[in-house]
Amino acid sequence: MTMSDTIEADLPFLTALRRDLHAHPELGFEEYRTSDIVARLLEEAGLSVHRGLGGTGVVGTLQIGNGTRQIGLRADMDALAMPELVDRPHRSTVPGKMHACGHDGHTTLLLGAARELARRRGFSGTVHFIFQPAEEGRGGADRMVSEGLFDLFPCDAVYGLHNMPGLDVDEIAVVEGPQLASSDSWRVTFRGIGTHGAKPHLGRDPVTATGSFLVALQTIVGRVVDPLQPAVVSACSVQAGQADVLNVIPETVEIGGTARAYSAEVRDQLEAEIGRLANGTATTFGLSADYRYTRRIPPVVNHPDATSRALGAARDVFGKVRTSFPPSTAGDDFAALAQDRPGCYVWLGNGPAVEGAIHHNGGYDFNDEAIGPGVRFWTRLVERELAADDHGTA
């Protein structure tokens, strides 16, 4: 049977698997059921399986022939803490949790590729199938790396994939350069002197200072960062006073937000400028300021060589291959895997955003029509990367 035939025959199983994962979502570092399923299916396919990195992480290894090149393919497994709002046969059975970003699909695609490659054995070298916990802001990739992922499973290159509503299911985007922004958090606390709301002159008002700071914050992107360099600074939380006590000026205001950039230089600039404005505002209003900037996820930047290899596989599989596609200001901790080795992160078509159901929306669902193309892409990428003609006899 050809690759197309065997993957086609596996689609009913993979579709049922994807829907089962969707119905049983688990949050980051809690993917116990999911990792059990992943490990069992990898073992049944004949792969060597390692568990425990990042707590619930699973790595399946398939070594064929005498090729020395090793590559890693990554899928994230976690769901989000949000309710599913659309009634469907495979909707979430866990209140307040759902697969609203398609990680159920990503896990299924990589399992499908592992099964196909174990059947075909049409390459020479080693591929590590990395099933990562806790992509959604909990640091799963960092934890896997810090616990020895690449010491145990060295990789000459790593690849990631994410579904993209709005691209057709026979379409993929493979683009060199920045794909996702750094994702950092910042917090500012203004400390003044609380007083009666009718006697503001007796205190030092952090609420008025906060208003000034929030307006000034947008001048960082508008007037400090190079206009040809994308950046985002957003205040997302303000905590001050009590809603049922409206005649007291509070002593403190706590503000928090996010900062995004595609380059190390702009990332440094954002950290410095938010702090400069916080301290300047505090001085202006006679307050003190506590400032903390937390670097969470670096940007995802596709390496030229890895991108070229992924592009070749994409052209073998897809009717439409985009080599130009706008980067996202979202973040993905795949960046931690690709930080010290060539990496490429591609966008797999998920079909129309039905009724506006995009990522992190309560109506979102991974499109099962994308399973076949996604499995074919992963399979073809491995067979091209680890071609027997280049690396030895399979």
Are 107 and 193 a contacting pair, CB within 8 Å? Answer: no
pLDDT tens string 122-142: 999 999 999 999 999 899 999
Annotated binding site: 101, 103, 136, 162, 360
The per-residue pLDDT for 356 is 74
Mean pLDDT over the full length of the chain: 96
Find all residues with CB under 8 Å of 351, minimum gap 6, and list them. Answer: 165, 167, 168, 169, 367, 369, 370
The per-residue pLDDT for 357 is 83
Are 376 and 109 a contacting pair, CB within 8 Å? Answer: no
Which has the higher per-residue pLDDT, 180 or 357?
180
pLDDT tens string 264-320: 999 999 999 999 999 999 999 999 999 999 999 999 999 999 999 999 999 999 989
Domains of the chain from N-terminus onward: 3-180+300-386 (3.40.630.10), 182-297 (3.30.70.360)
Annotated binding site for Mn(2+): 101, 103, 136, 162, 360
- Cα 254 to Cα 71, 128, 181: the distances in Å are 45, 44, 25
pLDDT surpasses 70 at 389: no
Find all residues with CB under 8 Å of 146, minimum gap 6, and list them. Answer: none
pLDDT tens string 309-352: 999 999 999 989 999 999 999 999 999 999 999 999 999 999 99
Q: What is the DSSP string of 162-187?
A: EEETTS-TTEEE--SEEEE--EEEEE
The per-residue pLDDT for 1 is 58
**Model confidence band, residue 391 (pLDDT cutoffs 50, 70, 90):** very low
The per-residue pLDDT for 394 is 45
